[in-house]
Structure 1
Amino acid sequence: MAVPDALEKDSLFSPFQSITVSVLSAPLFFIATHNVMQIFTAAVPPYHCQSNLTLVPKDPCTRFISLLANDTEPCKQGEREYNLSLYTSTIISEWDLVCEREWMKELAQSIYMAGVLFGAMLYGPLADRFGRRTVILCCLLQIASMGTSAAFSPNFSAYCVFRFMTGMGICGLVINDLGLTMEWVPKKYRPTVSIIQGTCLTLGQLVLAGMAYAITDWRWLQLALSLPFFIFPILIWWVPESYRWLALKKRSQHALWSLNRAARINGEKNGTFITLEMLTHENNENAPRRSSSATPLDLFRTPSMRKITIGLSMSWFSSSFCFFPIAMDIQRFGYSLYLMQVIFGCAELPLRILSTLMAAYVGRRFSVSLFLVFSGVLILCSLAIPADLLLLQMSFTVLAKGFLGASIVCAYLYTAELFPTVLRQTGIGFTNMMMRLGAVVAPLAMMTKAYAPFLPLVIFGTVPILTGLPILWLPETLNSQLMDTVEEVEARHQKATSEKKKELEFGTKL
């Protein structure tokens, strides 16, 4: 096919590809800052209940009524005093989210994750219908406006609504930003681009630590991390729409303009080797076998698509199910939150680079499976570490989180290559929905601590192992062209099945 091969002669360092990857990667620096922002904006300062008596009970949610009888009573809302020496203001101190209202802190993060989940459901199909670039621009403006509004929230309810809307935009931006980048990059450079964009996502954790250290008021921190998203639409406006999507939508003239623009920027005076006649002929030739109106149901309609969707959904679910509880629970180690955030962020960088190198030279499916299984094994091994060896526990936790992050980076690359163009963003959106569902369900697993302190770690260690192994039965996409239609995916599956049958028959004859 001429269209899929259009960019294969270009280098990643060709001007057009370099600018496109740089511009689309820039917003990713601030994605992690919003995902785990509540580590700092919802940090719990030391507090105690106001009392006329000099002694303070061990339980900060109560106060003494009488020292002689050692009687206490619950502290009412608004009667608590917070030590704001480290944090000038957090949502905890401002809205008194402790003691009987402690659950509201977790509710705020769950509502944000629910917004991310809803964004995956909404913006994947919309991108396949209206274009990747259009949805990216809308999501950037949504993050900017809703994130800024959250900084001026008059109460907790408004804060949760704005965070929900911000989460929707964050997910829509990520899945379409990565998808559009992959569709403009030659296949041999996709792993390199995955390293670049995965590194941007990881460095966002370091950006968050630095800005949180400099800005100790949660409203100003929220504002500082949201305002840059007003600038990014200006940059993204330069990036053209995916020529693959345009060609499949029979907008051949626009696709040709985008390809010729890329060629001119790369210094090719004669344009590309694609002409309008070639695009039109290809559209007419392939029209009978192309899904004219692909829907999310097509993810499950055929055997190969069903196998791909279920397998990837399981891996995405387990990655998030284990990643976010580990990432959000760093306060339990007792060290500075800023230091822990930097350590966790830095530990992920080499593992994410390693994972992408493995994906480039060993294979996508093996890399995703291996890192999921490794993370599960590390979590289970941490159960055997004595409670007093806190540093060793932290080391195992950091490595487990790093392997989960590495698996996520490989999974983004693998998912974008497995799904066909007509369903690529729908597929990425659905698997991301399963990823966010894992983050929403994870607190339920944490509640099992009430029955046995070790039970959450057993669950978080077992799930990635069980979901990582089935990935090995999915197709490998190393050095493969992107599929454009469901029919091409099924043809690949049938070809692979027939080759396996021939190998089995040949082995039986021997």
Structure 2
Amino acid sequence: MKFETLLDEVDGFGPFQILILILLCTPRIVLPCHFLLNIFIAAVPPHRCDISTLDGGGLLQNLSLEQRLTVSLPVQDNGIPKSCEVFAEPQFQLLSNSSSGAHLPTVHCRSGWVYDNSTFTSTLATEWDLVCDRKSLSKTTATIFFAGVMAGAIAFGYLCDKYGRKNTLLASYILSIVFGFCSAFANSYILFTVLRFCTGFGLAGISLISVVLSIEWSDVGHRALIGVMGSLAWCVGNMFLAGFAFLVTDWRMLIMTVTCPLGFAVLTWWWIPESARWLLANSRAKEAQTYLNKCATFNKKPLISSKYKWEMLSNMKIKDNQEKNYSFIDLVKTPKMRQLTLLTGIIWYRVATTYYGISLNITGFGLNMYLTHFIYAAIEFPAKLMAYFFLNKIGRRKCQAGTLLLTGTCIFINIFMPKDLWHVRSVIATLGKGLSEAAFTTVFLYTTEIYPTVVRQNGVGYTSFVGRLGVAVAPLILLLEDVWTLLPQIILSSVAIFSGLVSLLLPETLNVRLPETIDDIEKSRRDHVTSNCVESSDVVLEPEDKEEEQ
């Protein structure tokens, strides 16, 4: 007897499943607020050297502020004072001519900087003077944060398969809240980066568990809908971030603002059910029956206990070895699992690299940064809805391949598009960003469906780790424009097209039952060798031999 048989009895898509989506909505909204938070808290506002301590032999005090700036600071070609340099000595002759003083000797700022606070009250840059030769440190905080997400993906992937989805989710909530608020009170740059690493570690659990838990309670026909509906919370959170950042211009208060909703998530955690799939896979049939009965009651279906005794449920063949503890090693122990692990890792790495590479490289619409961020977030809505339509029409494999190939094509076209056709370039770039988002939405659902229940969270944790590695690499690729202007676009285009071709090697999961054990994956491989009557894309996840229903 398959788990889907039980799920059909209690309704695999009803009010119970919608409730799970709603309960997981708040933490999912928080994710983009933290993942993209560095755009605002690490922003570097316009700044210049502080000249308040300069004396100039007492002559400067007789000058107006504008005159003091003229004799003290060199200017750029656009007439704006340079951010990181000051004249070695006051140049009073500049008061009588319009020279920029570019040929005059300069030194680095001696007394700190003065910042333009019209947009931001406070940022990391203004707090710890992360400008000029320390400018890279403000961007490093994002890399450190995602390093925490990478570590959390591995840790929570293991913990979820060992201790269950629900309990691990609570631990993720608590870690994110504690370290999120603590980072807002950090009094040094080093302490802040450590706390941001820990915050990313905690948030990784929310990212992984929320997807898997909602999919494992969904029936075959509605997995795509559940996956896409859940991912729309990312778009909402992304748009909220623009509003929060506009209203809260102090970086400490902004961190606390985007972390606060997790307090509400902790309160709603009590109503989140454990995965009945995971409980049955770990010989906890009584608890699984309890949750299945709750699902049946909520969906107004007959109780499972009225048809199946818990002893009968405990005999379900969900786990190969009831005493075995599964780990990441099981992802590469057997031939078919090894193949799936390699292919999904390649795709995740390249999907993440392409998405963030495009996101960081698309020029704005000539609007302020808050409105631009809001528009970029809103663009992802139609991309996700498009992904849902094609996921059910042409299947996961073709949708994954198509979105990646088209993304690479858009980048490739813009390489040769004349720069004076900026409006055409903007449309193509925006289309590429939407397609890359559709590819990201697809890969989350696809990966969850490919891995068997006993190592599903480990599999998702591993692929998320590889994806975050791609996120860290994307900014480095963009730096290659100093070597050759077109090199970043060529790399991103090649990466997207290659990963699109690789995805064609994966099995199709449309309308196919989720695999429960590693043997389901390996057995389907053997069945494929001996049978030509079943399509290979379906055989991979649905063994040909049928189990007798009880």
Matches within 5 A, 1:71-470: 71-76=104-109, 79-268=112-301, 270-271=303-304, 273-282=307-316, 292-329=324-361, 335-470=367-502
The code of the aligned residue for 1:86 comes to T
- Decide which structure has greater helix share: 1
Judge conservation of contact 1:290–1:487 (CA < 8 Å) in 2: no
Cα deviation for residue 291 of structure 1 reads 7.9
**Separation in 2, partners of 1:433, 1:100:** 31
1:61 corresponds in structure 2 to 84
Judge conservation of contact 1:115–1:164 (CA < 8 Å) in 2: yes
Judge conservation of contact 1:372–1:465 (CA < 8 Å) in 2: yes
Alignment partner of 1:448: what SS? helix
Counterparts in 2 of 1:330 and 1:164: CA distance versus 1, 3 Å:
farther
Judge conservation of contact 2:47–2:114 (CA < 8 Å) in 1: yes
**Separation in 2, partners of 1:503, 1:482:** 16
Deviations 1:305-351 (A, max 9, x none): 11111111111101111222333456776531112111111111111
Alignment partner of 1:39: what SS? helix
The code of the aligned residue for 1:244 comes to R
**Separation in 2, partners of 1:412, 1:294:** 22
The code of the aligned residue for 1:439 comes to V
1:45 corresponds in structure 2 to 45
Counterparts in 2 of 1:105 and 1:331: CA distance versus 1, 3 Å:
farther
Alignment partner of 2:48: what SS? strand
Counterparts in 2 of 1:313 and 1:78: CA distance versus 1, 3 Å:
farther
Please, which moves more after superposition, 69-78 or 203-212?
69-78
Cα deviation for residue 267 of structure 1 reads 2.6
The code of the aligned residue for 2:500 comes to G
Judge conservation of contact 2:26–2:262 (CA < 8 Å) in 1: no
How does the TM-score come out when normalised to structure 2?
Answer: 0.86
Say whether residues 1:482 and 2:514 are aligned partners: yes
**Separation in 2, partners of 1:344, 1:466:** 26
1:22 corresponds in structure 2 to 22
Larger radius of gyration: 2
**Separation in 2, partners of 1:269, 1:9:** 8
Please, which moves more after superposition, 328-337 or 365-374?
328-337
Cα deviation for residue 366 of structure 1 reads 1.0
Deviations 1:61-97 (A, max 9, x none): 1112343574243333752111111111111122111
Please, which moves more after superposition, 231-240 or 69-78?
69-78
Deviations 1:130-177 (A, max 9, x none): 001111111111111111111111121111111111111122111111
The code of the aligned residue for 1:238 comes to W
Please, which moves more after superposition, 288-297 or 313-322?
288-297
Judge conservation of contact 1:28–1:200 (CA < 8 Å) in 2: yes
Cα deviation for residue 30 of structure 1 reads 1.5
Judge conservation of contact 1:10–1:186 (CA < 8 Å) in 2: no
Cα deviation for residue 380 of structure 1 reads 1.8
Alignment partner of 1:48: what SS? strand
Identity %: 30
Deviations 1:402-440 (A, max 9, x none): 211111111111111100000000000000000001011
Alignment partner of 1:231: what SS? helix
**Separation in 2, partners of 1:491, 1:99:** 60
**Separation in 1, partners of 2:140, 2:506:** 36
Judge conservation of contact 1:191–1:357 (CA < 8 Å) in 2: no
Cα deviation for residue 200 of structure 1 reads 0.8
Counterparts in 2 of 1:234 and 1:439: CA distance versus 1, 3 Å:
same
Alignment partner of 2:447: what SS? helix
**Separation in 2, partners of 1:501, 1:282:** 27
Deviations 1:352-371 (A, max 9, x none): 11112211221111111111
Judge conservation of contact 1:294–1:422 (CA < 8 Å) in 2: yes
Deviations 1:246-283 (A, max 9, x none): 11111111111111121122233544533212112225
Counterparts in 2 of 1:404 and 1:78: CA distance versus 1, 3 Å:
farther
Judge conservation of contact 1:63–1:73 (CA < 8 Å) in 2: yes
Judge conservation of contact 2:242–2:370 (CA < 8 Å) in 1: yes
Deviations 1:112-136 (A, max 9, x none): 1111111111100110000011111
Counterparts in 2 of 1:410 and 1:81: CA distance versus 1, 3 Å:
same
**Separation in 2, partners of 1:117, 1:132:** 19
Judge conservation of contact 2:13–2:218 (CA < 8 Å) in 1: no
The code of the aligned residue for 1:224 comes to T
The code of the aligned residue for 1:442 comes to A
Alignment partner of 1:63: what SS? strand
Q: How many residue pairs end up in the alignment?
A: 502
2:57 corresponds in structure 1 to none
**Separation in 1, partners of 2:236, 2:509:** 28
**Separation in 2, partners of 1:440, 1:366:** 28
Judge conservation of contact 1:175–1:429 (CA < 8 Å) in 2: yes
Alignment partner of 2:4: what SS? coil
1:508 corresponds in structure 2 to none
**Separation in 2, partners of 1:163, 1:287:** 38
**Separation in 2, partners of 1:163, 1:77:** 31
Cα deviation for residue 501 of structure 1 reads 9.3
Please, which moves more after superposition, 90-99 or 324-333?
324-333
Judge conservation of contact 1:321–1:435 (CA < 8 Å) in 2: yes
Give the alignment's Cα RMSD to 1 decimal.
2.2
Deviations 1:212-245 (A, max 9, x none): 1111111111110001112202212211211111
Q: Which runs of 5+ in 2 are unaligned?
A: 55-67, 77-81, 94-100, 537-550
1:3 corresponds in structure 2 to 3
Cα deviation for residue 10 of structure 1 reads 4.9
